[in-house]
Amino acid sequence: MEVTFDDVARAHERIAEHARRTPVLTSATVDALTGARVHFKCENFQRMGAFKFRGAYNALAQLAPEERRRGVVAFSSGNHAQAVALAGRLLGIKALIVMPADAPRVKLEATRGYGAEVVIYEKGESREQVAAKLSREKGLTLIPPFDHPHIVAGQGTAAKELFEDAGPLDFLLVPCGGGGLLSGCALAAKHLAPGCRVVGVEPAAGDDANQSFRARALKSIPVPTTIADGARTTSLGKITFPLVLRYVDDMTTVEDHELLKSMFFLWERMKVVVEPTGALAACALLEKRIEARGLRVGVILSGGNVDLAWAAGKLLGR
Amino acid sequence: MEVTFDDVARAHERIAEHARRTPVLTSATVDALTGARVHFKCENFQRMGAFKFRGAYNALAQLAPEERRRGVVAFSSGNHAQAVALAGRLLGIKALIVMPADAPRVKLEATRGYGAEVVIYEKGESREQVAAKLSREKGLTLIPPFDHPHIVAGQGTAAKELFEDAGPLDFLLVPCGGGGLLSGCALAAKHLAPGCRVVGVEPAAGDDANQSFRARALKSIPVPTTIADGARTTSLGKITFPLVLRYVDDMTTVEDHELLKSMFFLWERMKVVVEPTGALAACALLEKRIEARGLRVGVILSGGNVDLAWAAGKLLGR
């Protein structure tokens, strides 16, 4: 399904009153290290702590009255859950979030805190079975985490704001899980600055999008083991893959140990709490996966929902 | 010595090209917890990681050509050291920073990294002796950490920006060490919004300014033991104390364990890395030292220079 810049622009109007226009930060230290002029779009400051709110709100706001009345369902143990929960609350749409029985307690509580009903599924069942059942019994609309044109258009508003606030960019680096943020930002970037080179960044252990991009065919991998929990996806989507092929110039990967180092660098030097997935694009820059010297670079810091105790343990090497 | 809003306005013009106009963040979570509409001025994103750059740059920029040529000296093991070092580098003024022999290695390196020469003094000597010697031998101008009209005027620009960006405020909460930030922000606030109530916040263990404020006489205490290392001051200054008496409406304190809790709350929920001293004002709000329900509140987050390993240890209870 086609997604265009007009869709991004309309999404932007739709979310304007509810999403936060997150700040764009610069860092003399990062500029000195890279030789570039780097602009960080801080989606860790977005509502519920990640860019996901943009897409979720844009999707829920476009439901028909009858769909709104019946409610929505989403499957996620991560940021998408909280995004759908919060968008639902703001729009008065009942949200059911299906989470695995072993989801972290803090995520369960955060999702409930945003007003959603959480449905736990057991190991024996599949997400699809639970989905079919809920959809059949309650007539709920499924809100997918990335593979939906309204989700993609919503995520693209992050890049639109970045270009509006930072001015022209030569490079745009974007974290990649299922490709919703990457494809939305890439299509927005190519519309606003056709010469801007867009690069998607995955954890090395979960490089399915890199594989698909190089093969020009949709590849799948087993669920990857990586600290970048927002990028533990097994493949791009039917909608995001063609958009990535069309609008993204290159893909790259970073190792988990590099990601951890970059994450703490962002905490310590830029004073921003970013989660591992949120640091993917910054890591590609800091680890010199691209040659940025003399260029204007945009980096999406996509989220900041990290368990501090986990991070403290990693920091102290435990 | 008198400091006026005109001094703040002129300081603002002077630093505009070099200091960062730091973002003002809001938090739905904080608003829900407090019943207020809270605006956080994020000076942790200021250059060198704290508001101190504003005052230091404003002071160094006003030195006479002959003073510039000879250079400056400052005594600090904290943010003032880095502020003077950076301002000196930007203005082409040689900076000597006098640090105790047991200053943290990371602070030494950061100060040298900003281009200053670090002079270590041994336990036997006093700061004053070292100062007198350096001033006599090298003709250096001493840049005090807070008790100077140019420093006060520079720090006041943080409040000026906050009012410009957040609009009218009913309350302004400001961390207090030697009172440079507090007095500068208070005089700016009272000029811009005479009805705004300004409250200074100290660590309970270092409550000299609270004592002085209540006695209306300048009190001194021994060097306090508190995690708020930027507020380990023993008294307000000859310049800051009268300004605090004139422009500040109230003073309050918070305990170290509350401060630590608030600091990590800001990290986890607002995704901003703030140092203990930087969280003082936020802590007074979160711990309900003021009744803010229904009001518009400004909070200065004054800095973010915290050792991550130290914080991780505190977080994990070690």
Assign residue A188 a region: left if phi > 0, alpha if psi is -120 to 50, beta otherwise? alpha
Residue A77 has pLDDT above 90, yes or no: no
Smallest CA–CA separation between B220 and chain A, in Å? 33
Which pair of tokens denotes residue B59? 């002071």
B77 counts as catalytic: yes
The CB-side HSE value for A197 (13 A sphere, CA atoms) comes to 12
Question: What is the C-alpha separation between B175 and B163, in angstroms, rounded?
Answer: 17
Per-residue pLDDT of chain B (318 residues; tens, 9 = 90+): 689 999 999 999 999 999 999 999 999 999 999 999 999 999 999 999 999 999 999 999 999 999 999 999 998 878 999 999 999 999 999 999 998 887 777 778 889 988 899 988 877 777 767 877 887 888 999 999 999 999 999 999 999 999 999 999 999 999 999 999 999 999 999 999 999 999 999 999 999 999 999 999 999 999 999 999 999 999 999 999 999 999 999 999 999 999 999 999 999 999 999 999 999 999 999 999 999 999 999 999 999 999 999 999 999 987
Q: Is A272 on the interface with B (CB under 8 A)?
A: yes
Partners of residue B49 in chain A, C-beta under 8 Å: 271
Q: What is the pLDDT of residue A225?
A: 95
Q: Number of A to B CB contacts under 8 A, please give it.
A: 59
What does DSSP assign to residue B272? B
Question: What is the C-alpha separation between B285 and B30, in angstroms, rounded?
Answer: 9
Q: Is B313 on the interface with A (CB under 8 A)?
A: yes
Q: Is A270 on the interface with B (CB under 8 A)?
A: yes
Q: Is A309 on the interface with B (CB under 8 A)?
A: yes
Smallest CA–CA separation between B100 and chain A, in Å? 24
A212 counts as catalytic: no
Of A146 and B77, the structure prediction assigns the larger pLDDT to A146
Assign residue B238 a region: left if phi > 0, alpha if psi is -120 to 50, beta otherwise? alpha
Question: What is the C-alpha separation between A81 and A221, in angstroms, rounded?
Answer: 23
Smallest CA–CA separation between B243 and chain A, in Å? 31
Active site residue: B27, B41, B76, B77, which one? B77
Of A300 and B108, the structure prediction assigns the larger pLDDT to A300
Interval A10-33 mean pLDDT: 97
Asked if residue A41 lies in contact with residue A298, where contact means CB atoms within 8 angstroms, the answer is yes
Q: What is the pLDDT of residue A1?
A: 65
Smallest CA–CA separation between B82 and chain A, in Å? 14
Q: What is the pLDDT of residue B1?
A: 66
- Return the number of other C-beta atoms located less than 10 Å from residue B35's C-beta: 12
Q: Assign A24 to helix, strand or coil.
A: strand
The DSSP bridge pattern shows strands A72-75 and A37-42 to be: unpaired
Partners of residue B90 in chain A, C-beta under 8 Å: none
Selected residues 206-265 of chain A with any CB under 8 Å from a CB in chain B: 264
Q: What is the largest CA-CA distance in chain A?
A: 58
The ipTM assigned to this model is 0.95
Partners of residue A274 in chain B, C-beta under 8 Å: 271
Q: Which residue among B20, B42, B273 sits closest to A267, beta carbon to beta carbon?
A: B273
Asked if residue A73 lies in contact with residue A142, where contact means CB atoms within 8 angstroms, the answer is yes
As a three-state string, the secondary structure of A102-144 is CCCHHHHHHHHHCCCEEEEECCCCCHHHHHHHHHHHHCCEECC
Burial class (CB in 10 A: 0-12, 13-18, 19+), A174: buried
Hey, are the CB atoms on A315 and B304 less than 8 Å from each other? no
Hey, are the CB atoms on B268 and A268 less than 8 Å from each other? no
Interval A201-235: pLDDT, tens: 999 999 999 999 999 999 999 999 999 999 999 99
Nearest residue of chain A to residue B43 (CA atoms) = A271
Edge-to-edge strand order for the sheet containing B24-25?
B24-25, B37-42, B296-301, B171-175, B197-203, B250-254
Hey, are the CB atoms on A273 and B274 less than 8 Å from each other? no
The CB-side HSE value for A188 (13 A sphere, CA atoms) comes to 30
Q: Name the nearest CA neighbour of A283 among A306, A303, A299.
A: A299
Q: Which of A90-104, A295-309, B63-77, B175-189 has the lowest mean pLDDT?
A: A90-104
Hey, are the CB atoms on B23 and A28 less than 8 Å from each other? no
Question: What is the C-alpha separation between B178 and B156, in angstroms, rounded?
Answer: 14
**Read out DSSP for A191-222?**
HH-TTPEEEEEEEGGG-HHHHHHHHTS----P
Which pair of tokens denotes residue B231? 């507020």
Interval A237-282: pLDDT, tens: 999 999 999 999 999 999 999 999 999 999 999 999 999 999 999 9
Q: What is the pLDDT of residue B130?
A: 83
Q: Give CA torsion, residues A106, A112, A116, A117, to 10 deg.
A: 100
Asked if residue A183 lies in contact with residue A247, where contact means CB atoms within 8 angstroms, the answer is yes
Q: What is the pLDDT of residue A121?
A: 84
Q: What is the pLDDT of residue B128?
A: 67
Question: What is the C-alpha separation between B145 and B239, in angstroms, rounded?
Answer: 12
What does DSSP assign to residue B172? E
Of B165 and A108, the structure prediction assigns the larger pLDDT to B165
Active site residue: A27, A76, A77, A302, which one? A77
Hey, are the CB atoms on B267 and A308 less than 8 Å from each other? yes
Interval A120-143: pLDDT, tens: 887 777 776 787 788 788 899 999
Partners of residue A308 in chain B, C-beta under 8 Å: 264, 267-268, 315
